[in-house]
């Protein structure tokens, strides 16, 4: 087992990263180290998601650094300042629709940013003598299942499925993944990687399907379903993703990669119907009225039909399994959005309104 002491989390103010930091500091007794959260606070980053963590652990076990992962001098200085021995790289531009309307930021952050972190780690972790690296270091990269492309009705993504990215988002993530594995292979940098299916849970930015639909239901707005609504995604509660990441970081051999999934496939329209039931019950809405708000809109360009992950390798080799089923996870998620109206209001700035108009205005 690796002991990971001074952990640089990139993108820790985003959805999965903030849940990861909370998971490590609140629910992981075998982690006793320090966390440095490097985040550029783009539209998707929100320091308020960790305000309570900051007041409880700030200055002792939790440190926030506002900055860009592409800034080499800053990244290098953080390795020195905090004696970083572990990187968990979540930071990314992460939304497919935004990548279609503006791909450049995706190449910068997901490709150049990943390269910058890898190269800074390579320099910082070199052994003083010989060409090797310190034994106590690890670069863990957070990947997506979308790099594998789109499935037909049958089959699953395994770790050996050839890459076939089909959106600017997944192509830029694929490039980042390749750099990580190349740094492991060429230089011997200790790297691990996970590729996960669609996450849901607290603090997800409401441009993604589940929080967007929850908030639109609460406001009596249309529920925009792309295309025929029969695209399929495999959904996993965010805390289960993070427990899998931590398991890999602690137990996996260097150079290994693992798929993570929920074994929980849903057609979008069926998921929406299920979610309507949960939201209507918790918020006391008229379910028939909410149902009548479903609106089919113009499809996403190049919309991948089906994602489904085979996660038998991590289950078999590292004994990980998910602990939250979909009904429980959705119920927790809806309850969180109902209870955290201040968080919701704080992120729905002018920028968010402009995005909604740009993305959905074009689909009418
Ligand atoms: P997110 O968009 O909610 O958060 C991304 C975070 O990265 C934000 O806090 C943002 O401010 C920060 N960031 C963006 N560019 C940056 C830069 N140049 N420098 C520093 N910080 C920057 O994303 P998420 O949903 O939390 O996803 C996190 C990671 O998990 C990503 O790598 C994504 O590809 C991967 N992933 C996500 C899902 C999912 O369903 N959300 C599934 C599988 C994998
Ligand atoms: P999303 O949450 O954007 O995740 P991803 O595209 O990375 O899987 O979308 C999930 C699915 O929901 C995807 O098939 C697109 C669809 N979708 C809609 O039908 N309507 C929407 O408004 C959004 C945002 C997504």
- Specify the residue with its C-alpha closest to ligand 2, atom 4: 208
Q: From the CB of 208, is ligand 2 less than 6 Å away?
A: yes
Q: What is the pLDDT of residue 114?
A: 99
Q: What is the pLDDT of residue 364?
A: 74
Q: How far is the CA of 302 from the centre of ligand 2 (A)?
A: 12
CB 46 within 8 A of CB 19: no
CATH of the domain at 47: 3.40.50.720
- Specify the residue with its C-alpha closest to ligand 1, atom 29: 90
Q: From the CB of 206, is ligand 1 less than 6 Å away?
A: no
Dihedrals phi, psi of 193, to nearest 5 degrees: -145, 145
Q: What is the pLDDT of residue 355?
A: 86
Q: What is the pLDDT of residue 350?
A: 74
Structural domain including 244 reads: 6-202+237-263+303-324
Domain count across the chain: 1
CB 262 within 8 A of CB 326: yes
221 in a domain, yes or no? no
- Neighbour-count burial of 248, counting CB atoms closer than 10 A to its CB (0-12 exposed, 13-18 middle, 19+ buried): buried
224 in a domain, yes or no? no
Buried b (16+ CB within 10 A) or exposed e, 325-344: ebeebbeebbebbeeeeebe
Q: What is the pLDDT of residue 266?
A: 98
Q: From the CB of 150, is ligand 1 less than 6 Å away?
A: no
Ligand closest in space to the Cα of 305 = 2
- Specify the residue with its C-alpha closest to ligand 1, atom 12: 11
Q: What is the pLDDT of residue 235?
A: 98
Q: What is the pLDDT of residue 62?
A: 98
212 in a domain, yes or no? no
Q: How far is the CA of 287 from the centre of ligand 1 (A)?
A: 33
- Nearest CA-CA partner of 212 in 97, 304, 112, 323: 97
307 in a domain, yes or no? yes
List residues with catalytic annotation: 145-146, 169
132 in a domain, yes or no? yes
Q: From the CB of 225, is ligand 2 less than 6 Å away?
A: yes
First-last CA distance in the chain:
53
Ligand closest in space to the Cα of 113 = 1
Q: Which residues of the chain have pLDDT under 70?
A: none
358 in a domain, yes or no? no
Q: What is the pLDDT of residue 312?
A: 98
357 in a domain, yes or no? no
User: Is beta strand 265-267 parallel, antiparallel or unpaired with respect to 232-237?
Assistant: antiparallel
pTM assigned to the model: 0.98
Torsion of CA 145, 146, 147, 152, to 10 degrees: 100
356 in a domain, yes or no? no
Q: From the CB of 92, is ligand 2 less than 6 Å away?
A: no
């Amino acid at each position: 087992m690796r002991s990971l002491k001074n952990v640089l989390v990139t993108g820790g103010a985003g959805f999965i990263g903030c849940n990861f930091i909370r998971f490590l500091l609140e629910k992981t007794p075998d982690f006793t180290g320090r966390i440095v959260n490097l985040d550029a606070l783009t539209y998707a980053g929100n320091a308020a998601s960790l305000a309570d963590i900051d007041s409880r652990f700030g200055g002792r076990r939790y440190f926030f650094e506002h900055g860009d992962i592409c800034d080499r001098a800053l990244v290098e200085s953080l390795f020195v300042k905090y004696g970083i021995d572990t990187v968990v790289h979540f930071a990314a531009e992460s939304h497919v629709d935004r990548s279609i309307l503006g791909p450049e930021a995706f190449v910068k952050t997901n490709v150049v940013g990943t390269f910058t972190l890898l190269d800074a780690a390579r320099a910082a972790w070199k052994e003083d003598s010989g060409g090797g690296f310190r034994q106590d270091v690890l670069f863990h990269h957070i990947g997506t299942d979308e790099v594998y492309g789109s499935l037909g009705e049958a089959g699953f993504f395994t770790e050996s499925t050839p890459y076939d990215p089909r959106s600017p988002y997944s192509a830029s993530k694929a490039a980042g993944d390749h750099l990580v594995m190349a740094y492991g292979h060429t230089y011997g940098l200790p790297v691990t990687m996970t590729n996960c299916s669609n996450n849901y849970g607290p603090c997800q930015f409401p441009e993604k399907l589940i929080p967007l639909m929850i908030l639109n239901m609460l406001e009596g707005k249309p529920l925009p379903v792309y295309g025929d609504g029969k695209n399929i995604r495999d959904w996993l509660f965010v805390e289960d993703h993070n427990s899998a990441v931590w398991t890999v970081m602690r137990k996996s051999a260097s150079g290994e990669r693992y798929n993570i999934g929920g074994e929980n496939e849903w057609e979008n329209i069926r998921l929406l119907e299920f979610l309507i039931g949960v939201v209507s019950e918790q918020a006391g809405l008229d379910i028939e009225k909410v149902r009548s708000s479903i609106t089919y809109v113009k499809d996403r360009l190049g919309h991948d039909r089906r994602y489904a992950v085979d996660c038998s390798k991590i289950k078999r080799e590292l004994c990980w399994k998910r602990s939250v089923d979909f009904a429980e996870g959705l119920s927790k998620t809806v309850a969180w959005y109902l209870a955290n109206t201040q968080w919701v209001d704080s992120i729905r700035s002018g920028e968010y309104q402009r995005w909604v108009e740009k993305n959905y205005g074009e689909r009418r």
